[in-house]
Amino acid sequence: MKFQDKFKPGDIICSDRFSNGLCMIVESCGTTFEEKFRYRCQDLVKEDQGWLAYEWGSYVGYPYNWRIATDDDIANYLTRFVEIDLGKVGFFEVKLTNNGIRLDGGTDYTISLEAEELIQLGKIINERVVG
């Protein structure tokens, strides 16, 4: 099947090779002034965030491998936007995210820690502070 025949407006598509597997809704299709076929898309979650889906990247030597998004693709994408407030530590708001904990102290003071980093921090606190 040719790339230009794969999707229609309203389809939710994704690619593991494009922006870490984001999901987007196809709005329209056509060619660019360079005669490259592309789908014009809207991000599944972020308002007014448009994307273009090309078969091949301009700067990469492999195809993006676009496909219709599965339920798992959509669920994984949506979890990126879930944050659970855990409370405050000093002036930091502590939030649980899909890949760890974020300490948010405003625009200039954000620290994100993934699971391995949290374990390392816990060990340091136990050894050096609690001790």
Q: Token pair for residue 10?
A: 């309203």
> When comparing pLDDT for 64 and 68, which is higher?
68
- 71 and 98 together in one domain: no
What does the pLDDT average to over 56-71? Answer: 83
Number of structural domains in the chain: 2
> Is residue 100 predicted with pLDDT exceeding 80?
yes
Specify the pLDDT at position 91.
85
Supply the DSSP symbol for 5.
Answer: G
47 with 21, same domain: the answer is yes
| 115 half-sphere exposure, CB direction, 13 A CA radius | 2
Note whether 39 and 99 are same-domain residues.
Answer: no
Range of the domain at 69: 3-79
Residues 69 and 113 in one domain: no
Same domain, 58 and 95: no
